[in-house]
Amino acid sequence: MGRANSKSSSRWLQEHASDQYVKQAALDGYRSRAVYKLIELNEKDKLIRPGSVILELGAAPGGWTQYLSRQAGESARIVASDILQMDSLPDVTFVLGDFTEQSTADDINLAMENRKADLVLSDMAPNLSGVGVSDQARAMGLVELALVAATEFLAPDGAFVVKVFQGEGFDAYIKEIRKCFRNVKIRKPAASRARSREVYVVARNLI
């Protein structure tokens, strides 16, 4: 088991060192390569509008948040939340805590000035154990929670973006999200590694 993990870690380090998006993130001053997934999603789906109210769940380390801040401008209300601490960013209010807990949800609503969000985003993923069935179950649990949060915090005509891993429970989740939103698209950004089972669901207009 240890040897397999070592090989996996070594492969990841080699990929990371040669990854064009890792290099580009360093050049562009972003905290993570994941930002290029959001950039592509925004270019295709026109998600970020100046002056919007935006909520990002699971925001640390803040690569997506940086882009949101740059794109939405000073007039936007951007709230980022995570159970992990995150370095501050201009024009972003950070809420530390578990968004499923009422006290954190109250803090998020306060930070949004009790307004509904135009955009809710989640790039969350569980810490992987290497046990596929368990990891997939935990990943699906997170996206279920993100969907519940989206229906609570979103404006009726708002957009919800969530990372979902294909596997057990995926089809049922897509059916569930289609019951909540009128317009649902599934995207695979170029910055998603080819072997990754991750896709992004872009959903609009609450039913």
Q: Is the pLDDT of residue 1 over 50?
A: no
For residue 12, say whether it is annotated as part of any ligand binding site. no
Q: Which amino acid is at 201?
A: V
Q: Is 163 a catalytic residue?
A: yes
116-159 pLDDT per residue, tens: 999 999 999 877 666 778 889 998 999 999 999 999 999 999 99
DSSP element (H, E) containing 93? strand 92-96
For residue 87, say whether it is annotated as part of any ligand binding site. no
pTM beyond 0.85, yes or no: yes
Residue-level pLDDT at 5: 54
For residue 98, say whether it is annotated as part of any ligand binding site. yes
Q: Are 57 and 121 within 8 A, CB to CB?
A: yes
Pairing assessment for the beta strands 198-206 and 181-187 based on DSSP bridges: antiparallel
Distance of CA 70 to the CA centre of its chain: 17
Work out the percent of the chain whose per-residue pLDDT is above 70: 89
160: closest CA among 187, 121, 123, 199? 121
Residue-level pLDDT at 112: 97
Pairing assessment for the beta strands 198-206 and 154-165 based on DSSP bridges: antiparallel
104-125 pLDDT per residue, tens: 999 999 999 999 999 999 999 8
Catalytic residue among 7, 44, 163, 185: 163
136: closest CA among 146, 145, 126, 144? 126
Q: Is 178 helix (H, G, I), strand (E, B) or coil?
A: helix
For residue 118, say whether it is annotated as part of any ligand binding site. no
Domains and their CATH numbers in the chain: 34-206 (3.40.50.150)
Q: Are 32 and 61 within 8 A, CB to CB?
A: yes
Tell me the C-alpha distance between 204 and 159, whole Å: 4
Tell me the C-alpha distance between 58 and 22, whole Å: 20
For residue 171, say whether it is annotated as part of any ligand binding site. no
Rg (C-alpha) for the chain, rounded Å, is 17
